[in-house]
Amino acid sequence: MHIIRTVLAAATALAMPSCGGGDVIKIGLIAPLTGDVKTFGEGVRNAVMMAFEELNAAGGINGRQVQIIASDDKNDPMEASNAGSKLIDMDAVLAIIGSVSSKCSVPLADKCQVAGIPMITPTSTNPKVTVGDDGKRKDFVFRACFIDPFQGTVAAKFARDSLKVGTAAVMYDVGNDYSKGLAEFFRDAFEGLGGRVVAFESYAKDDVDFSALLTKVKLQDPDVVFLPDYYNKVGLIAKQARQAGLRSVLLGGDGWDSPEMVRIAGEDIHGGFFTNHYSPEDPRPEVQEWVEKYETRYGQRPDALATLGHDAALLMIEALKTATELKPKEIRDAMARIADFPCVSGKVTFDEWGNPIKSAVVLKYSARGQEYVATVEP
């Protein structure tokens, strides 16, 4: 971990030139740069660094350069919490961008709330990121993505209204806040729309053999199987499902969005649908400009995670520019005032819970890759 952080700090110093001493504005970045979902973290890091490099090249914030101090949480909640402590207590950052997965962002949000440090997660969709167990708002915490109740409802409505299915099975990671929460929101919405959930099956984080669960699901012969997990697990489940002869339509959430999905699942993911935050096929100029810029630099289209990293960085920059003082409380207040701010994934206005009011898209995996299917408004 020390070696990783040292390398990241060196890379950050090169990418983010400073004015020296107290003139530097320090912002933390926490993402999974190694581990099971490292492509998510790499995309977020790339996008955040690009945004702040452009800001610094244009003069920074009132002539002051911004230094991004990056930490790797390995998609582990304890690592995320420890990284937050280091950034707050040792590096004295004014704000934090991160993390990526909900299971890491929830403890990080708790830490930022207690410390009074504003935080924006690009991609964590579980409601508990911005709301405590007591039901109260964590007012220092924001996000750039829609939340799982909306995403689960979008998936359920698409299954009922567009796919015209009547029965569904759900398989989820019981130890993952994102996976479990999205599974429950989909189940409740699907049944509320008149559908029937014939199987609701859980597995553990480290499981790689899903044959027993798939046998149980196959016996129920569902029209659709909802898989609210990340690409690394969904790819394995898709392959094993087809090998077991399960021909149900596969459906999932934004955790499916990775170039690694097709490498893992191959043709077995073709015909699968998932909800997401944006489509690179969107003709809006700001989308096409972003896609071209990212593709030119990194040799691949930005997935939704990279795009939300970009949007989170833009929202943080807007808060830094409009804060009455460059102090944590004032940055938080400036973030809360943001309304109709143009981002790649759509215009953002924060609601009273720190969540953006924005649309979702449905995409499909095919031999061509990802194909745009529909846009769903909030």
Q: What is the CATH number of the domain that holds 37?
A: 3.40.50.2300
Please state, in angstroms and rounded to a whole number, the distance separating the CA atoms of residues 85 and 66: 20
Q: Are residues 120 and 91 in the same domain?
A: yes
pLDDT score at 22: 57
Q: Are residues 129 and 246 in the same domain?
A: no
Strands 224-227 and 196-203: unpaired
Is 375 part of any domain? no
Q: Are residues 142 and 288 in the same domain?
A: yes
Q: How do the pLDDT tens digits run along the chain, 378 residues long?
A: 333 333 344 344 434 443 334 589 999 999 999 998 999 999 999 999 999 999 999 999 999 999 999 999 999 999 999 999 999 999 999 999 999 999 999 999 999 999 999 999 999 999 999 999 999 999 999 999 999 999 999 999 999 999 999 999 999 999 998 999 999 999 999 999 999 999 999 999 999 999 999 999 999 999 999 999 999 999 999 999 999 999 999 999 999 998 899 999 999 999 999 999 999 988 889 899 999 999 999 999 999 999 999 999 999 999 999 999 999 999 999 999 999 999 999 889 999 999 998 889 999 999 999 999 988 877
Q: Are residues 158 and 114 in the same domain?
A: no
Is 378 part of any domain? no
Q: Are residues 182 and 258 in the same domain?
A: yes
Is 224 part of any domain? yes
Please state, in angstroms and rounded to a whole number, the distance separating the CA atoms of residues 368 and 371: 7
Q: Are residues 257 and 217 in the same domain?
A: yes
Is 94 part of any domain? yes
Out of 276, 298, 326, pick the residue that ends a domain: 276
Is 181 part of any domain? yes
Q: Are residues 137 and 185 in the same domain?
A: no
Please state, in angstroms and rounded to a whole number, the distance separating the CA atoms of residues 140 and 109: 8
Q: Are residues 189 and 142 in the same domain?
A: no
Out of 276, 311, 342, pick the residue that ends a domain: 276
Is 370 part of any domain? no
pLDDT score at 282: 85
Q: Are residues 267 and 184 in the same domain?
A: yes
pLDDT score at 19: 35
Out of 219, 250, 276, pick the residue that ends a domain: 276
Q: Are residues 296 and 266 in the same domain?
A: no
Is 75 part of any domain? yes
Q: Are residues 306 and 178 in the same domain?
A: no
Q: What is the pTM of this model?
A: 0.83
Residue 65 sits in which domain range?
2-146+284-359
- Radius of gyration of the chain, Cα coordinates, nearest whole angstrom: 20
pLDDT score at 10: 36
Is 374 part of any domain? no
> DSSP characters for 292-358?
HHHHHHHSS---HHHHHHHHHHHHHHHHHHH-SSSSHHHHHHHHHT--SEEETTEEE-B-TTS-B--
Q: Are residues 301 and 316 in the same domain?
A: yes
Q: How many domains does the chain have?
A: 2
Task: Report angle CA 50, 54, 55 to the nearest 5 degrees.
Answer: 115
